[in-house]
Every structure is written in C-alpha cells, then in structure tokens.
Chains A and B, each alone.
Chain A
C-alpha cells in the first residue's frame, strides 16, 4: 500500500459505496437463486431429499442432473422468494441437517463416480439455538472434510452471497467460479462491522475493508474465473445469466473430467492457497 493510499483507501466513502453496491446487487430480491440457475444451466434435474439421519433441511437442495450428457450430483443453497418460501428455506441459512445433507450428496457422488456441481448462495450457517444444540460447528467441519476427500471432479459456483463457514461447506472444489456481482466473505458485512466497530451500522465501511468484491477473489487465486452477468446484473435477466453461465460450467466440467483427476491435488490447492509461505 502506498502512503497516499492508507489501508488501500478502503476507509473512504467512494470505496465504501462501491463495495456496498456490490453486496446489494448480490442480495437483490429479484436475483436468480440456485434452482433458477439449475433449471437454466443443467438438464433433467431430479431433486433428492434428506440427510438419511432424520432431517431434510430445505435451505440446502441436492439432486441429480446432466450437463452435456454427463450425469452429475448437485448441491445448492436455496433462498426463498415468497414470504412462505423464505420461511421454509430459512433465507438460505442451513441447520446441521443441511450440511449433513450435503455430506450425503458427496458420499453418493463418490460411490457412483459422479462429478459434483455446487451452487453457493447463503448469508451463512443459521445462527440459532437449535442449530448449536445439534452440532452446527461439527456438521460444517465434517462437510469440509467430506469435500476434501471427494474422489470425483468437483466444480463450485458462487452465484450470490457466500457467507462464512456456511458457504465454505460447499466451496472447496477443484474449480471455483464466481458470478460478477457475487461475493465471498469471512463474515457478513453487518457481522464484521459489529465485531470491528461494535456497530453493525458501519456495514458499508466493513464491506470495503474486507475487499469482498468478486474480482479480488480471482486476483488472490481463490476463484478460477469470474463469470460475467448481463448488463445491469443477473436480476435483470435470468435467461441471459443462464446463457452466460452454462457454457462456462460445460467447459470447466469437461476440463476437470478430461485432465485426469486426483483429490490429493484438491487438498494441495487448499493447503497452499494463500501463497504466503513456501513449505
């Protein structure tokens, strides 16, 4: 950082406004949610239900589909659009059963040798008493482990909000795509502001300081590709968003299935990700 640019200039009003605009687009109520994009980018989607341990969390959707004829396993965070559906989907915030449902999908994919595609769009794991009582942290940790052991090709797409550990539970793929106005963050800007400034109202400043715009993820090597959205953003044109995303999924999946596959390489990617230390 140059002296003329203390803190990367992240504290100033323009940076705050720009970062906040990014967050608002990613959360736009008309933005396509996972199933809207599954419908436009994948073929023959068949939803499966349940974690096989007594729960079926609607904040996480799993299923089977095809892309360019290739059978796939799919896991997605799902937000609701109507008041009723928002309640049912819990605003895309999963309980432990949702993460265990994802684990079930990873197990199924390994057993049947199916590549996995994940769609990420969650404010984060649900912050509630029942979630804690049933082992929210343990469920997320085990899902991280399941992803790094998955013996098949794995592609992740961040389509909206990628909040915290809840997002990481379906992000640790061989290739990570991020829609132009999506973001990935260590905490929601509101939560980060509450921690850093003891004032959730300073969310814009926190968003800027966290530098959570999608383009940074590419620069830092966390994402492999930023997928452009239609002019005006994905919320203005769902079909257009699907038309831009689908060929990128096809290309990445083809690349992953053809280049030969080794889960050890995925573990190495996440082991060395920050690139700050040579082993």
Chain B
C-alpha cells in the first residue's frame, strides 16, 4: 500500500478550534500558534504525530524513518467491524501507515532520534507495526549515537492484534537494551493519555521521564478500576502531577516550554553521546 508521507499535515481544516476541556472556541491560527494549548484554560489538547514533530523538531530537520512500514491483520479479527477496515480508515484519516511517526531530527540544534505516537490512529495502540517501527527507531538512534526522544500518547495494547500486541512490550524493551549498551540517553515524554502496555514497557524506562500537564497516565484505566474494585478514586488520580508527586516522573512540562527543556537536557546529555561516551566506555 502506498502511504504518502504527510509531514506537517494540519490537524483539521476547520477554521475554529474548540477546547475539549473548557469548550471555549478560538480561531484555529491562535490555537495553533499556542501549540494547541487552550488560550483560555491552558488544557493541552491531543495532537497528531505530525503536529508533534512540527512543534518539537527544528524547522526542516525531520527526515522520516521506515515511512512505509505497515502491519497486517494476523488474527483475521472482527469485533463490531473487521480490523482490516479499521486499519484502512485510520491510514487514510491520519496519513500514517500505523500509529507512530519516527525519524531523525534536531531539537535546538542537537541531533536526536524522534518518535511520536498518533492517538488519532486507533488510540495510538501498540500494534506489531508500531512496535517494530519504535524498535527500529530506538536501535537506529543507538547506532547513530542520537539521544532518543519518544512522545507517547497511547491507550496501550491493540486488542485486535491479541497476544502479538502484548509481545510488543517485550520487543520495545529488548530494543531499549541497545541504547543502554551504547550509553545513549532515552528521554520519554508522556502525553495524554499514556496507559496500559505502553507505560508498562518502554515509556516507563526513560532515563529522564517528562510529562505534559494533566495527562492521564497509568496501567489500568480509572473506569476499569472503579468497576473492578468499587474504590473511591483520589483527587487528580493518574494525572502527570499525581505521578510526579510519587517520584515516578521527573518533571511536568508545559508544552510551550517543552522544546526549551529538551534543548537544555540534550545540551547536558549530549556529551554522553560523542567522544566522552567512547572514552568512558
């Protein structure tokens, strides 16, 4: 299947942007200029993988990796509709072969391997193709001594790929070993939402873990917990701030500061990716 890379694809052609949190309506240009953080209430809305890369990468620096890598329906899966139809619709709508975009880029002048999940593509779920593209991006970053930056926005496993989806957790962690061996840093950025198999594998294993404000992050979703245990959920349960307070996330970073924070991190960590790392190894 031919997928036309749609880098810098706009999220929507509608003239107005409506905030999902406060329902305020703003001119799209104003919202886009504010990186789709609501100009009224500061809620960070979900953005596509292409928009994420556009926001983080230095202008013109992004070169896509594995842009044709697509999976298939291994189980012949049908729920309320065939999985092959769901895949096809998502590909056409999101302009991606599956729920992740990856490539090389520079951020504030520092070279990185960059991956970004696309929540609009079947909830950013972990298919075999997503796991493969992620693993390749990790390994290529290690081989090219580029710090690896991954922005996750994923509901977790993709049910329609059954146990193959589950095994992507193992695949991603196996790939991360290459970064450890080569002493190349992994900066994991958690965006809304990062749940289930995604946070219980690669996303929790960043050398540095950042999260956007009020992102939902956790292993089991709040609705399932309530149904299974009838427990009262504490205020702010499973938000970025909740996990930060418990020592699980290094910093909660406003999207408008993310590039700057990454630039500073990369400036400090950069030494570990070049001559110094080889000398210390």
Chain A residue, CB-CB nearest to B128: A274
- A127 within 8 A of partner (CB): yes
Residues on A with C-beta less than 8 A from B231 are 128-129
- B79 within 8 A of partner (CB): yes
Stretch at the interface among A71-79, A105-113, A205-213: A205-213
- A10 within 8 A of partner (CB): yes
- A222 within 8 A of partner (CB): yes
Q: A89 vs B164: C-alpha distance in the bound complex, in angstroms?
A: 29
User: Smallest Cβ distance from A51 to chain B, in angstroms?
Assistant: 16
- Chain B: residues with Cβ within 8 Å of the partner, total of 63
- B246 within 8 A of partner (CB): yes
Residues on A with C-beta less than 8 A from B177 are 145, 148-149, 267
Residues of A whose CB lies within 8 Å of any CB of B are: 1, 5-8, 10-11, 125, 127-129, 131-138, 140-142, 144-145, 148-149, 164-165, 168, 172, 184-187, 191-192, 194-197, 209-212, 216-217, 220, 222, 267-268, 270-271, 273-274, 276-277, 279
> Total A-B residue pairs with C-beta atoms closer than 8 Å?
187
Q: A187 vs B174: C-alpha distance in the bound complex, in angstroms?
A: 22
Residues on B with C-beta less than 8 A from A134 are 246
Say whether A141 contacts B163, CB under 8 Å: no
Residues on A with C-beta less than 8 A from B136 are 279
- B248 within 8 A of partner (CB): yes
Chain B residue, CB-CB nearest to A132: B218
Scoring B128, B173, B196 by chain A CB atoms within 10 A of each residue's CB, the highest score goes to B173
Contact of A187 among B157, B167, B237 (CB under 8 A): B157
Say whether A273 contacts B171, CB under 8 Å: yes
Say whether A144 contacts B163, CB under 8 Å: no
Residues of B whose CB lies within 8 Å of any CB of A are: 69, 71-72, 74-80, 82, 128-129, 131-132, 135-136, 157, 159-167, 169-171, 173-177, 196-197, 199-205, 217-220, 224-225, 228-229, 231-234, 237-238, 242-243, 246-248
Q: A137 vs B78: C-alpha distance in the bound complex, in angstroms?
A: 29
Scoring B164, B200, B218, B232 by chain A CB atoms within 10 A of each residue's CB, the highest score goes to B200
Say whether B175 contacts A271, CB under 8 Å: yes
User: Smallest Cβ distance from A118 to chain B, in angstroms?
Assistant: 14
Say whether B77 contacts A7, CB under 8 Å: yes
Q: A183 vs B72: C-alpha distance in the bound complex, in angstroms?
A: 23
Say whether A276 contacts B71, CB under 8 Å: yes
Say whether B224 contacts A186, CB under 8 Å: no
Asked, given contacts A141-B199, A144-B169, whether A132 binds B80 with beta carbons under 8 Å apart, the answer is no
What are 6 A-B interface contacts by the 8 Å CB criterion?
Answer: A141-B203, A209-B77, A210-B162, A216-B163, A271-B175, A274-B171
Say whether B204 contacts A127, CB under 8 Å: no
User: Smallest Cβ distance from A20 to chain B, in angstroms?
Assistant: 16
Say whether A127 contacts B76, CB under 8 Å: no
Say whether B234 contacts A129, CB under 8 Å: yes
Say whether A129 contacts B225, CB under 8 Å: yes
Say whether A144 contacts B201, CB under 8 Å: yes
